[in-house]
Amino acid sequence: MLTVIENLLDDAEVRQFNGALAAADWQDGSGTAGTRSVAVKQNLQLDRQDALAQELGNTILRKLGHHPEFVSASLAEKIWPPVFNLYQDGGHYGTHSDAALMRLPEAGLTIRSDLSATLFLSDPDSYDGGELIVEEQYGAQAVKLAAGDMVLYPSSSLHQVAPVTRGQRICAITWIQSAVADTSARALLYDLDQSIRALTPDRAGDDPEINRLIHVYHNLLRRWAQP
């Protein structure tokens, strides 16, 4: 399942991010790829220790924590510090899958990647190519979103970034360990929560049917969660 989180950053925040990132210290990204991935990865990245990357990354983490749709779709337990990357001049990332376990010893952080996330920061009209192509159960989906929008997709999927043939594509990416590891169980909970949210405004505060749906939601979550 692919979930789009619209307007994670508003227009002013996108401008602020892009202004700062235009002057950032971009480095060859192949250094952080695994031995298998290094052959297919061709982009620039900000170092994890880079002060700007940390500041902007923390802004993204704060926004995610307060975004109801992200919280509902991800049921996030742990989120990896966002990584900033830049593709240009034919830069691409060939078909790969993301590492299942990711460790950051200096932060004492280990996560199991259940969800991968890409936050698009560049205006889609300003570059050609650069689609995130995710191979799903029903075929490949190409994703290219407005600046400020984020897509969530299963880390277990094969995916790639198509070559950027004009302009620059800047994104932030991150990985999420969910309280519910199983993708289809998480998708059911998300659908149920979305319906409860859609029905609630039209009902009285003590509506018994809404209360029963909420009861079902939490008992399914209790059954499936492995925090």
CB closer to Ni ion, 119 vs 189? 119
**For residues 114 and 193, which CB has a smaller minimum distance to Ni ion in the complex?**
114
Q: Would you count residue 13 as binding Ni ion (CB under 5 A)? A: no
Taking CB under 5 A as the rule, does residue 149 contact Ni ion?
A: no
* Nearest residue to Ni ion, by Cβ distance, number only: 98
User: 204 phi and psi, to 5 degrees?
Assistant: -65, 155
Which one of 19-27, 97-105, 198-206, 211-219 is the stretch in contact with Ni ion (CB under 5 A)? 97-105
Among the residue ranges 1-9, 78-86, 98-106, 179-187, the one whose residues contact Ni ion (CB under 5 A):
98-106
Q: 48 CB contacts (<8 Å, ≥6 apart)?
A: 81, 83, 104
Can you tell me the distance from the alpha carbon of 103 to that of 112, in angstroms, rounded to the nearest whole number?
9
Q: Is 114 in the site for Ni ion (CB under 5 A)?
A: no
CB of 73 to Ni ion, least distance (A): 18
Q: Is 98 in the site for Ni ion (CB under 5 A)?
A: yes
Instruction: Return residues touching Ni ion (CB under 5 A).
Output: 98
